Structure 1
Amino acid sequence: MDADNTSLSKRILSIDILRGFVMIVMALDHTRDFFHIGAMTADPLNPENTTGLLFFTRWITHFCAPVFVFLSGLSAYLSAQHKTPAQAASFLFKRGLWLIFIEIAVVSLGLTFNLQYNFIILQVIWATGWSMIFLALASRISYQSVVVIGYILVFGHNLFDLLPKPADQTAGLILKVFFTASGTVVPLSSNHLVGIFYAILPWTGIMFLGYGIGAWYKKEYAKELRKRKLLVAGILTILLFITLRLINIYGDPAPRKEYRDFFKNLLSFFNVSKYPPSLQYTAMTLGPALLFLALIEKTANWFTKINAVYGAVPFFYYVIHFYLLHILLVMAFFATGHSEKEIMQVPFLFRPAAFGFGLPAVYLIWICVVASLYLPCRWFKRYKQTHRQWWLSYI
């Protein structure tokens, strides 16, 4: 879901490979939401009642959203090199509005299958859209302003965890929407709700930092220098995560819990807050991503080629995989003997709380869904490479 895939005359494969990898892993979490027996009733990251495999199944998908948003910022910088500042900002602004619309009208429908839109779910596409709008505005000031604002947002937004909540209801809602939302449900009417699960500005900070890294990918930038900078940045970011986690004072709204059991302590160490993305969460996920970018740049094998296919058409893949998963859910719903009386569920239709399978079935469904989307993604990737219609830059 980068800013403008078609504008790049020569794609940077390392970016597509990393983006493709996180898109593949992302589908695992959505498969778990739809098909795992405990997805609606238990927290897979709670060290007190989870298992190692269940924890890992959820935890590994933590890398998806921040890497995705970060690479969107990086790609926005690269695509801007082929436009005037005004053209680049205009495109980002329009793309942001488009993504917000898609989140509400298309992605939310794929998640819920509720044609009446009784529950609208606002997640990563919503946050990405708003972040692109803010990037369009900030980039018109200067590249430096984007980087500075990005650091302020990423490093500073957890200060709101230390401040008292506003007494005014409207001010409190604004604060949640922009900084602290972790599952805010806003009623629009007696039977229509909006779930805001991605606070906007912490994700905007991540996109801005990705935009800043984009300068390292300019054609005239030395590859070896870029690799060294990525390695150093990745290592320092990981060390920042470890340091903040050990100090356990700042950088996450839920301080690390101590247990008498070593395994539970290990899980607790990595159980950081995604909603909103805390500084510790961001450092934990982006640090390895930077190392991955450094190490994968000159690697070419079957694994990287497959990932690059998904990474070249992330928007196409993202939207379709929700509908495919939900169609399979409907089939499984009736195949397991559930009746029409159980269809209406919140937030997902055809998804009763007691429905589901074990993790082996979840992994099998995930692999089948991802594999089934390979050929359509490869076809659309080639289509985008050989066609130049204006609307392709929005898909």
Structure 2
Amino acid sequence: MKPATDAVKQRIQSIDILRGAIMLIMAIDHTRDFLHKGGQLYDATNMGTTYPALFFTRWITHFCAPTFVFLSGVSVYLAGTRRTKSELSSFLLKRGLWLIVVEVLLITFAFSLNPLYNAFALQVIWAIGVSMIILGLLIWLPVRVIGLIGLIIIVGHDYITTLKLTPNTTEDTLVKILFTARGFLIPLNANHFIFDLYAIIPWTGVMLLGYTFGTLYKREYNPASRKRFLIYCGLAVFALFLVLRFMNGYGDPAPWAVQKNGIFTFMSFLNVSKYPPSLMYCCLTLSVGMIVLALTENATGKLAAFFKVYGSVPFFYYVLHFYLIRTITIAVFFAQGFKTSQIITPNMPFLFDPPGMGFSLGVTYLWWLGIILTLYFPCRWFSNYKKTHKQWWLSYL
């Protein structure tokens, strides 16, 4: 008879399906950033300049980061069933530091293609890395206490966005890094700066909540009860989103308003704030994630298997897709007739991204489809490799 820990090591297909789906959706946004004409210059959620197809292309990707961070918390709990508290804490501290290094060196370079690193981008991998370090320090607390801390952060952190602090003071900088960052620039010297998109604490709250939900996947937990709980919880949280959004008060710094027609008013209603992730944003995205987890628990078929390939190797896919997209942008740069003198755009941190380069939104979607299909086979290979090999470093990829 196999020990109980062996059963826990088996991958949970609903988690892999959901994670795979959001990884593919995420690539839409990154493809649009670099291959859609004007993708880096215009805010796709600005009601004054956007249009429905562009808005929903951006909006659908709002589900990616919170779902991924939430599932990272679930995965941490499952990893803890195979480790002592001390081992899990040590692993989280080391993996968190490793993710920060990856963000600063590998992902920043993929974004900018600038070997001088004039700009360091702190995005979702940074937020996950720091959140893992914090969770590694909190891991000694009871699971319910960790979940309560996460819930308090998600519900309460929007209050901090209302605080008025003196700009450019130490207190203002710390509050932005920890709670309110939205494209916050931190100068290092005359030629180098940090571009902080992801405030730490709000995303940590999402991971802590996910860690608590990991208890639903304990070996002895009844699958029918888990499915029922996820559906009811998801519906309740979605209802909370609707109530809060209709009230147009606390829970999001960007209230909705009646627009020039019905579709734009609907878009305004859905246009919740990601930077930092507001309470309404978390309610909307996490509620849908919970329901999808419940509905895909016993999913079968080719589409489910397709998503599982990507969901079983998310970090590998994440790094690879950035480098593939940026390799394509270099080829497109020269194919569209741009000159080497245009590799650097004044006052822009990204190389090979001059004004006017790129394609229509429809063609950009075709590029996205080609990118994810190209990555299917290396992801399938690495997924099989992880299943058949047990080297220690695989837990970091």
TM-score (norm 2): 0.96
Residue of structure 2 in register with 1:382 after alignment = 384
**Match status 1:90 vs 2:90:** yes
Provide the aligned C-alpha RMSD in A.
Answer: 1.3
Q: Which residue of 1 aligns with 2:154?
A: 154
Supply the distance in 1 between the matched residues of 2:298 and 2:167 (Cα, whole angstroms).
Answer: 54
**Does residue 286 of structure 1 match 2:274?**
no
Distance 2:243 2:301 in 1: 35
Correspondence for 2:135:
135
CA shift for structure 1 position 75: 0.4
Cα shift at 1:167: 5.7
Q: Offset of 1:163 from its aligned partner?
A: 2.3
The alpha-carbon deviation at position 354 of structure 1 amounts to: 2.5
Distance 2:267 2:102 in 1: 36
Task: Report the counterpart of residue 370 of structure 1 in structure 2.
Answer: 372
Structure 1: any 5+ residue segments left out of the alignment? 1-5
Post-superposition CA distance 1:267-293 (Å, at most 9, x none): 000001100101111111111110000
- Tell me how far 1:168 sits from its aligned partner: 6.5
Residue pair 1:188, 1:194 contacting (<8 A) in 2 also: yes
Conserved? CA contact 1:138–1:145, under 8 Å:
no
- AA in 2 matched with 1:353: P
Q: Distance in 1 between matches of 2:262 and 2:52?
A: 13
Structure 2 partner of 1:322 = 322
- Separation of aligned partners in 2, 1:289 and 1:168: 37
| Matching of residues 212-223 of structure 1 within 5 Å | 212-223=212-223
- Residue in 2 aligned with 1:356? 358
CA contact (8 A) 1:7 1:79 kept: no
* Structure-2 change in CA distance of 1:103 and 1:22 (3 Å): same
Deviation at 1:17, TM superposition (A): 0.3
Residue 198 of structure 2 aligns to a residue whose secondary structure is: coil
Partners of 1:194 and 1:43 in 2: CA distance: 21
> What is the match of residue 15 of structure 1?
15
Alignment deviations for residues 269-322 of structure 1 (CA, whole Å, 9 cap, x no partner): 000110010111111111111000011101111111000000000000000110
* Deviates most, 344-353 or 306-315: 344-353
For 1:110 and 1:46, the matched residues in 2 are separated by 26
1:322-347 CA deviation, whole Å, 9 max, x = no partner? 01000000000000010111111322
Change (3 A) 1:349 1:386: same
Alpha-carbon deviation of 1:145?
A: 2.0
1:368–1:8 distance in 2 versus 1, CA, 3 Å: farther
Amino acid at match of 1:90: S
Which letter maps to 1:153? Answer: I
Q: Deviations over 1:353-373 (max 9, x none)?
A: 332210111101100010000
Corresponding residue for residue 3 of structure 1: none
Distance 2:7 2:98 in 1: 18
Contact kept in structure 2, 1:40 and 1:353, CA below 8 Å: no
Q: Is the contact between residue 139 and residue 145 of structure 1 (CA under 8 Å) also seen in structure 2?
A: no
Q: Give per-residue Cα distances to partners, 1:121-162, cap 9 Å, x unaligned.
A: 110000000000011111112212211110011000000122
Structure 1 window deviating more from structure 2 (255-264 vs 349-358): it is: 255-264
TM-score, normalising length: structure 1: 0.97
Does the CA-based 8 Å contact 2:8-2:81 persist in structure 1? no
Matched, 1:312 2:312: yes
Residues of 2 paired with 1:261 and 1:255: CA distance?
A: 17
**Secondary structure, aligned partner of 2:69:** helix
Find the residue that maps to 2:107 and give its secondary structure.
Answer: helix
CA contact (8 A) 2:165 2:171 kept: no
The whole-number CA distance in structure 2 between the counterparts of 1:168 and 1:63 is 32
Change (3 A) 1:167 1:112: closer
Q: 1:165, 1:250 → 2: CA distance?
A: 20
1:200-349 matched pairs, under 5 angstroms: 200-345=200-345, 346-349=348-351
1:175 partner letter: V
Note if contact 1:181-1:196 (Cα within 8 Å) is conserved in structure 2. Answer: yes
Structure 1 residue aligned with 2:394: 392
Give the 3-state SS of the residue equivalent to 1:114 in structure 2: coil
1:265 counterpart letter in structure 2: T
Output one character per residue of 1:61-85: Cα deviation in whole Å (capped at 9) or x when no partner: 0000000000000000001001111
Q: 1:168 to 1:30 in 2, by over 3 A?
A: closer
| Preserved contact between residue 48 and residue 264 of structure 1 (Cα < 8 Å) | no
Q: Work out the CA distance in 1 between the residues paired with 2:340 and 2:284.
A: 43
Alpha-carbon distance in structure 2 between the residues aligned to 1:90 and 1:341: 48
User: Would you say how many aligned residue pairs link Structure 1 and Structure 2?
Assistant: 390
The one-letter code matched in structure 1 to 2:288 is P
Gaps of 5+ in 2: 1-5
Residues 96, 131 of structure 1: 8 Å contact kept: yes
Cα shift at 1:225: 0.5
Distance 2:79 2:164 in 1: 41
Q: Work out the CA distance in 2 between the residues paired with 1:140 and 1:47.
A: 46
